[in-house]
Amino acid sequence: MKALVFDSFGGPEVLEYREINNPIISDQDILLEMKAIGLNFADVYRRKGNYHLEGKPPYILGYEGAGIVKEVGSAVNGVSVGDRIAFADVPAANAELVVVPHDKAIPIPEGVSFESAASLLLQGLTAHYLTKDSFSIKQGHVALVHAAAGGVGQLLIQIIKLLGGKIIGLTSSDEKRQVAIEAGADSVFLYNDNWKESVLSETFGKGVDVVYESVGSTIMDSFEVTKIGGTVVFFGMAGGDPVSIDPRMLMDTSKTLTGGDLWNVLTSHEERVKRSNELFEWIKNGDVKLSETSFPLHDGAKAHEYLESRKSTGKILLIP
């Protein structure tokens, strides 16, 4: 099979599209012929050597995708050759063929494309637990969403709106501001402006109920615009490491800091399927819309360059 591989850590130029041996499944696995693969910043971090990467060279990136079942392990029930399957956390996805453990296989319902499934799962399931578990959005809640034009940001906006909340977004450019508005944000401010003053003005000086903090270096700014008794949900640090938080500040302001990690939520096959099905229903009903940019898998280096340029909005897909 063909795969996007690399033998040493570095920039996008280390990625090479070449022939490697087909993977072999166990009795608990299924083999997917890939139709669409999600690209995420975690892939960039692993390519650079900043994240743990299993095995030894040639390394294959990718943890999210969708395809057609080509082979079924002898101990697997309920899956047949030809079924449409997606996954959110299976390594070595940047290839024509991927081995998927049965407990991580998520059936794709009719009415949902391979591209939508591959775009939705990691970022969609993240937005799902952030709005349902980390902080349960209710009617009337006001949420501040960092990086509002990004993949998770756009999904957060749409889900918060669906659950009855109001959204203030933050972006880095006028172009991205327009993307966030089109996704459904009620107002959007730019990082280069005095956004804290704007957020407080928008909330009549009270602050927001919850901040979805994915930048990291802005965490104290996020607390400044959170109301007394409000919550900051920390789930990423794309802009740099956060400072240490003084628990006395939390005590004095009755504010809450909570973290979020998807793998603490997807603890069973049933949980994966249940949460994914809710996302799929939102897609089919038109309640959630996806923004996608596709690259051929053999142009994976260009896709990485585009992602790292910070010019992208929505989801980047690799198509075998």
Residue 189: strand, helix, or coil: strand
CA distance 90 to 107: 15
Q: What is the pTM of this model?
A: 0.91
Angle between helices 300-308 and 41-48 (to 10 degrees): 100
Digit-coded pLDDT (tens) for 33-92? 999 999 998 899 899 998 877 788 999 999 999 999 999 999 999 999 999 999 999 999
Say which DSSP state 108 is in.
Answer: P
Size of the chain, expressed as the number of residues it contains: 320
Q: Which domains does the chain have, with CATH numbers?
A: 2-108+290-319 (3.90.180.10), 123-263 (3.40.50.720)
Q: Does residue 155 surpass a pLDDT of 80? A: yes
Asked if 262 contacts 126 with a C-beta cutoff of 8 angstroms, the reply is yes
Please state, rounded to an integer, the average pLDDT across all residues of the chain.
95
Q: Does residue 159 surpass a pLDDT of 90? A: yes
Q: Does residue 146 surpass a pLDDT of 80? A: yes
Which among 159, 165, 189, 194 has a CA at the least distance from the CA of 177? Answer: 189
| Residue 201 pLDDT | 97
User: What is the arithmetic mean of pLDDT over 151-172?
Assistant: 96
When mean pLDDT is compared across 3-12, 135-144, 215-224, 307-316, the lowest value belongs to: 307-316
| Residue 241 pLDDT | 86
| Residue 292 pLDDT | 87
Q: Does residue 299 surpass a pLDDT of 90? A: yes
Digit-coded pLDDT (tens) for 180-232? 999 999 999 999 999 999 999 999 999 999 999 999 999 999 999 999 999 99
Q: Where residue 249 falls among pLDDT bands split at 50, 70, 90?
A: very high
Strands (DSSP E) along the chain, which ranges?
A: 2-6, 16-19, 29-39, 59-60, 65-72, 84-87, 97-101, 106-107, 142-145, 166-171, 187-190, 208-213, 226-234, 256-259, 292-296, 315-319
**Residue 28 backbone dihedrals phi, psi, to 5 degrees:** -100, 5
Task: Find the Cα–Cα–Cα–Cα dihedral 289, 295, 296, 301, rounded to 10°.
Answer: -140
Q: Where residue 313 falls among pLDDT bands split at 50, 70, 90?
A: confident
Q: Where residue 275 falls among pLDDT bands split at 50, 70, 90?
A: very high
